[in-house]
């Protein structure tokens, strides 16, 4: 057998301009040849293990035969086969831990190089992603920085090229340089951008502080160049957000943007154009500094909804006919459009704009309440209900907006320690490990793609409060919805009373009543229309939250993704929640109150709860 350039790589350009695939021969077998019966319907016959040599016995995992060959027949454990490969190589690539341990105890050379690439057993184990074998060899002193000859790849480069995320995380946590270069000056991030079409590995390397502007030795390509060359759409955004330059020139004087145009990659060009606009490209020079300012952008994103809502109301109120209103509304739309274009919203995040609409809508409705409705709805009970609702609404809104929703905090040292412990205990599982935050995820937590943080007992990310909703603020968010729903109902009630007293009487049917009300009070009617729209989605969201929290004992995320979580599936494949304690128990748990002895809250530290054991145990309490 022969090694493959760049440790079994694909079509990669080397410094000679050739593709690695041009230098490729057949790859290593990771398992021994299958017996003839595998291809022939004749009955299977047990191989005669006594005839196996050391390599074949190692491939099949026949420990007794390996020991017999070494101890009774005197075979040297470091003997190389005809392909210049040691028995420890074959044990590593086939993940034969017990045999590898035996070979090492008999004096096997840990960093023996073999094959065309002169790779070590650790290279072979890394290539297959055998974490247990990688851990064992490194504990025995294997050098992960050792380079093969032909490809000059360290184990870290091999792991990245083959998307072995667990191995990558372990090697870097054990001290390997995240920016280690191979012979061609390629860093792990460059290989990930060029070769790995999933986002997780690139995102993990960025979290581990991989250098984004670094360029390779020969082509002078950055990671963004390599991503564009391979049309790796998945990592473009992550690299741009991390600060990758679209204007960096390679050895041929080409920028990533030039390469994207050359390859006619419309999606990549669109992302780059939006990023360029966000940085002020194409805007007047004297305004570029202002339009790039994030504080100014935030003010615009929040302020424009106020301008639109109050502008529409003013036009409807002060324009005597549609002949005048329509041109003014069109002008308002044009001004808004160019305002957005001038202060280009960050194309990765429009949550601030949504948050602005929330504030603007509340401001418009409350303006009408204080200037119009309270003059017509002034009974003590109604006024008391209004002020109680208002205090509750703004208190819970502020808490939902500003309180830490349950972010999971950890230091860099703790991240590396966690990775090492998980890998060395053979319990590393990416379903339970966040590749971005580099931490073991507590049960019910989730990584929020908007906040780019893991949140304990994650419910959802809510742009209306510009925050995640999790264990830290879920109660406040629930009461925020409750008081918001009451406030909108109060507004609708107040508006209806106003129409009856100020615009009535109504005698000719519903449609005439509607048109009469609109012509009577366009400003108030614009707010009334907004209230009718918002009462529907707020009511639906409040009902959904009540059903999920109290009846199901679930979060929004869990309800939407139940089938993706193993702990929600029973032995028969039926989805069910392990967290529900029944209606009263769920109410007590969520509100943290005792229901007159009918149910008491059961406290769980969702920041550090990693399984369902505690939840199951409290069902019997």
In this structure, the number of other CB atoms found within 10 A of the CB of residue 139 comes to 10
| Cα separation, 446 vs 456, whole angstroms | 7
Question: How does DSSP classify residue 241?
Answer: H
CA trace torsion 408, 412, 414, 415 (10° rounding): 70
Question: Do 120 and 112 touch, CB atoms closer than 8 A?
Answer: yes
| Cα separation, 120 vs 128, whole angstroms | 13
Question: Do 512 and 552 touch, CB atoms closer than 8 A?
Answer: no
Distance between alpha carbon 246 and the CA centroid of its chain, in Å?
24
| Cα separation, 112 vs 68, whole angstroms | 23
Among 485, 465, 491, residue whose Cα is nearest residue 477 = 465
In this structure, the number of other CB atoms found within 10 A of the CB of residue 553 comes to 21
In angstroms, how far is the first alpha carbon of the chain from the final one? 63
DSSP states of 505-536 as a string? ---S-HHHHHHHHHHH-HHHHHHHHHHHHHHH
| Cα separation, 92 vs 487, whole angstroms | 67
| Cα separation, 12 vs 348, whole angstroms | 31
Q: β-strand 433-434 against 446-448: which pairing, if any? A: unpaired
| Cα separation, 39 vs 185, whole angstroms | 45
Residues in the chain: 621
Question: Do 315 and 325 touch, CB atoms closer than 8 A?
Answer: yes
| Cα separation, 514 vs 491, whole angstroms | 17
- Angle among Cα 417, 420, 421 to the nearest 5 degrees reads 85
**Whether 451 is catalytic:** no
Catalytic residue among 462, 468, 520, 546: 462
In this structure, the number of other CB atoms found within 10 A of the CB of residue 39 comes to 8
Q: β-strand 467-469 against 439-440: which pairing, if any? A: unpaired
Q: Enumerate the β-bridge partners of residue 467.
A: 462
The three-state secondary structure class of 184 is coil
Q: How many CA atoms lie within 13 A of 485 on its CB side?
A: 15
Question: Do 615 and 578 touch, CB atoms closer than 8 A?
Answer: yes
Alpha-helical regions (H) of 242-348: 256-263, 266-278, 285-292, 294-318, 322-342
Which residues neighbour 17 within 8 Å (Cβ) at sequence distance 6 or greater?
none
Active site residues: 462
């Amino acid at each position: 057998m022969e090694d493959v350039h760049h440790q079994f790589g694909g079509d990669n350009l080397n410094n000679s301009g050739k593709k690695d695939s041009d230098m490729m021969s057949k790859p290593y077998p990771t398992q021994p040849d299958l017996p003839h019966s595998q291809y022939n319907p004749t009955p299977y016959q047990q191989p005669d293990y006594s005839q196996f040599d050391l390599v074949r016995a190692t491939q099949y995992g026949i420990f007794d035969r390996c020991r017999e060959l070494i101890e009774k027949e005197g075979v040297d454990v470091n003997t190389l086969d005809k392909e210049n490969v040691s028995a420890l190589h074959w044990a590593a690539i086939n993940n034969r831990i017990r045999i590898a341990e035996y070979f090492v105890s008999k004096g096997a050379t840990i960093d023996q190089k073999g094959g065309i690439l002169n790779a070590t057993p650790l290279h072979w184990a890394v290539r297959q992603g055998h974490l247990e074998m990688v851990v064992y060899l490194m504990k025995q002193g294997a050098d992960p920085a050792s380079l093969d000859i032909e490809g000059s790849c360290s184990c870290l480069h091999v792991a990245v090229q083959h998307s072995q995320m667990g191995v990558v995380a372990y090697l870097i946590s054990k001290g390997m340089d995240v920016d280690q270069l191979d012979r061609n000056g390629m860093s792990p991030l460059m290989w990930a951008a060029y070769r790995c079409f999933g986002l997780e590995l690139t995102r993990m390397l960025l979290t581990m502080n991989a250098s984004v502007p670094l360029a390779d030795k020969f082509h002078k390509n950055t990671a963004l160049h390599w991503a564009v060359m391979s049309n790796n759409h998945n990592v473009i955004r992550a690299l741009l957000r991390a600060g990758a330059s679209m204007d960096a020139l390679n050895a041929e004087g080409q920028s990533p943007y030039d390469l994207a145009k050359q390859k006619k990659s419309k999606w990549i060009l669109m992302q780059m154009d939006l990023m360029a606009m966000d940085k002020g490209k194409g805007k007047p020079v004297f305004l570029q500094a202002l339009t790039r300012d994030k504080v100014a952008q935030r003010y615009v994103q929040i302020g424009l909804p106020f301008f639109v809502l109050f502008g529409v109301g003013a036009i409807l109120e002060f324009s005597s006919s549609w002949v005048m209103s329509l041109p003014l509304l069109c002008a308002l739309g044009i001004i808004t459009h160019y305002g957005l274009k001038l202060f280009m919203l960050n194309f990765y995040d429009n949550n601030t704009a949504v948050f602005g609409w929330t504030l603007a809508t509340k401001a418009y409705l409350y303006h009408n309440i204080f200037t119009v409705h309270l003059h017509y709805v002034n009974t003590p009970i109604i006024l008391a209900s209004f002020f109680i609702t208002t205090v509750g609404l703004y208190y819970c809104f502020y808490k939902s907006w500003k309180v830490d929703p349950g972010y999971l905090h950890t230091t860099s040292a703790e991240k590396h320690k966690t990775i090492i412990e998980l890998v060395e205990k053979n319990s590393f599982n990416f379903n339970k490990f966040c590749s971005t935050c580099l931490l073991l995820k507590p049960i019910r937590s989730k990584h929020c793609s908007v906040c780019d943080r893991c949140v304990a007992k994650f419910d959802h990310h809510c742009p209306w409060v510009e925050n995640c909703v999790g264990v830290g603020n879920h109660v406040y968010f629930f009461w925020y919805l409750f008081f918001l729903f009451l406030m909108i109902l109060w507004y609708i009630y107040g508006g209806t009373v106003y129409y009856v007293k100020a615009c009535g009487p109504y005698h000719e049917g519903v449609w005439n009543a509607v048109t009469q009300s609109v012509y009577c009070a366009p400003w108030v009617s614009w707010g009334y229309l907004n209230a009718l729209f918002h009462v529907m989605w707020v009511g639906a969201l409040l009902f959904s939250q009540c059903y999920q929290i109290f009846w199901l004992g679930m979060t929004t995320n869990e309800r939407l993704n139940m089938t993706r979580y193993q702990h929600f599936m029973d032995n028969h494949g039926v989805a069910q929640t392990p967290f529900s304690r029944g209606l009263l128990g769920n109410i007590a748990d969520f509100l943290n109150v005792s229901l007159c002895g009918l149910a008491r809250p059961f406290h769980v530290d969702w920041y550090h709860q990693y399984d369902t054991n505690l939840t199951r145990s409290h069902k019997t309490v």
